[in-house]
Structure 1
Amino acid sequence: MSLNLKRRFSLILAGSLAAAAVFAPATVFAVETLHIAASPVPHAEILEFIKPKLAKEGVDLKVKVFTDYIQPAVQVNEKHLDGNFFLHQPYLNEFKKNHKNDIEVPIAKVHVEPFAAYSSKYKKLADLPDGATVAIPNDPSNSGRALLLLAKQGLVKLKDPKNISATQKDIIENPKKLKFKELEAATLPRVLNQVDLALINTNYAIEAKLNPVKDSLFIEDANSPYANLLVAREDNKNSPAFKKLVAALNSPEVKKFIEEKYKGAVVPAF
């Protein structure tokens, strides 16, 4: 081969390699999509915070926001969604009792939302009058949670003060003759001015611009067993995408985000 021909061949080869380098993708990975149901605050906000991190790891996180406590669990149970992030273990236990073939599995604890009592009429608990109307959530796990909190304040006495499934039938003493209204949890902030006291889940309180730490008459302590969970289906709980999601939700970055954004209204559980 002549010298000129060798040089020409070398230039052609170099050009081909350069073109290949330009058009070759920098990183090649299979993107996996996760569809997760969440309540707007703080759950969806936390998931949106970790979206960019997960995208870099090949996980396309799709957050579907629900404003009730029923459909997020039903949608996962029926395999319309991959998982949810809104409930605690007592709620999941009650849901499983009432829904056959439930396939939801908790895979990580993320945070605790201390449950609290609010009033637009009274500034302190001592002012609550006899015969006061008290609004509590109507789903079994959260109504029991409300009654336990009321019992800790001495407003009622329960047969078993540790029974998280307590109902109004378990009240054995009601010295102030409180009247209870059980309502859907999401509606409680809207009826606050129509009752004397309302026990409201923190996610709905925050949406209504209520600060559980500053605005409540009383609040759960740090020993609450109601940590909010990331839930998957039985068939996808061990997927690489879910493992990345768990790692992101239990990361130091998320812990800092929760502490700085919610200032005690939401507490990391990891």
Structure 2
Amino acid sequence: MRNTVKTATIALTAGALALGLTACGGDDSDAFTVAATPVPHAEILNYVKDNLAKDAGLNLEVKEFTDYVTPNTATEDGSVDANFFQTQPYLDDFNKKKNTDIVSVVNVHLEPLGLYSHEVKSADDLEKGATVAVPNDAANGARALRLLDANGIITLKEGIDGEATVADIAENPKDLEFKELEAAQLPRSLDDVDAAVINGNYAIEADLKPAKEALVLESPKDNPNSNLLAVKKGHENDEDVKKLVKLLTSPEVKKFIADKYDGAVIASF
């Protein structure tokens, strides 16, 4: 009899503890959770959360990550409902290599990729044999090389598309040496290399000003590298997904992007 009473007491205590945790703001099972890198993705999402989501009937939660892998793996395994941090070429490459099944639902903005340096003020001033850091993932690495090609710093082999690698450089007049690093590490590498091609979000986080400080900068014209909202395949038409798509492509968000980022981030809608 004592054992029965003891068991019941433990069960009641556990139940009360669980209720207390819920009341104190534990996991919100009704929230639509989006994984995002901090700048500008989480900032844009938090603007939506604070100003637009409630009126649209969307309980939005923003979960920040600082890398380009976890947001996709969390979307694939259902830890989050969506993610907002990547481009279509990066997503295609990730799905292929990781055997994930994540799809884009809407393009939101472009973060122009730029070449930055603490050593020189112009790309023409890069010395022979200078070291240039580029992203080490396939999609952003290729994008970096295309940026250098478009500005006459190197020349890629003819017929090379989004899969370009350092091995595909046909002409390298300055005999540049390329150092491949994780994208998030590139701003910190500027003290150790002559120049680095840096993704727009990481440039902003490092207080770099793409429109003013980049030696060369991607053009938004016909650019396939817009940042997108992505979900696991099969969830494209979920009600909360459709609500967020509408909010992310609203006039209010377009104005927020233009006012806050001054050309460093450009709306794609």
- Length-normalised TM-score, structure 2: 0.86
Alignment partner, residue 236 of structure 2: 237
* Separation (CA, whole Å) in 1 of partners of 2:42 and 2:207: 17
* Separation (CA, whole Å) in 2 of partners of 1:236 and 1:90: 21
Once the two structures are TM-superposed, the CA of residue 179 in structure 1 deviates from its matched residue by 0.2
Alignment partner, residue 111 of structure 2: 113
Equivalent pair of 2:32/2:240 in contact (CA under 8 Å): yes
Of 140, 158, 166, the match for 1:168 = 166
What are the Cα deviations for residues 108-154 of structure 1, in whole angstroms up to 9, with x where unaligned?
11000011000001011121100000000000000000000111121
* Separation (CA, whole Å) in 2 of partners of 1:215 and 1:254: 25
Alignment partner, residue 248 of structure 1: 247
Equivalent pair of 2:135/2:198 in contact (CA under 8 Å): yes
What are the Cα deviations for residues 200-251 of structure 1, in whole angstroms up to 9, with x where unaligned?
0010000000000001111011222100000012232211111110000000
1:264 aligns with 2:263: yes
What's the % identity of the aligned pairs? 49
* Separation (CA, whole Å) in 2 of partners of 1:160 and 1:249: 38
Equivalent pair of 2:114/2:198 in contact (CA under 8 Å): yes
Alignment partner, residue 148 of structure 2: 150
Once the two structures are TM-superposed, the CA of residue 99 in structure 1 deviates from its matched residue by 1.4
Partner of 2:80: helix, strand, or coil? Answer: coil
Alignment partner, residue 97 of structure 1: 96
Partner of 2:79: helix, strand, or coil? Answer: coil
Partner of 2:153: helix, strand, or coil? Answer: coil
Equivalent pair of 1:148/1:161 in contact (CA under 8 Å): no
> Which residue type is aligned with residue 86 of structure 2?
L
What are the Cα deviations for residues 73-102 of structure 1, in whole angstroms up to 9, with x where unaligned?
1111122111100000000010011012x2
Equivalent pair of 1:32/1:241 in contact (CA under 8 Å): no
What's the C-alpha RMSD, in Å, of the aligned pairs? 1.2
Alignment partner, residue 66 of structure 1: 65
Equivalent pair of 1:151/1:161 in contact (CA under 8 Å): no
Once the two structures are TM-superposed, the CA of residue 161 in structure 1 deviates from its matched residue by 6.3
Partner of 1:105: helix, strand, or coil? Answer: strand
Structure 1 unaligned residues grouped into runs of 5+: 1-30
* Separation (CA, whole Å) in 2 of partners of 1:256 and 1:161: 39
* Separation (CA, whole Å) in 1 of partners of 2:225 and 2:246: 21
* Separation (CA, whole Å) in 2 of partners of 1:160 and 1:208: 35
Alignment partner, residue 190 of structure 1: 188
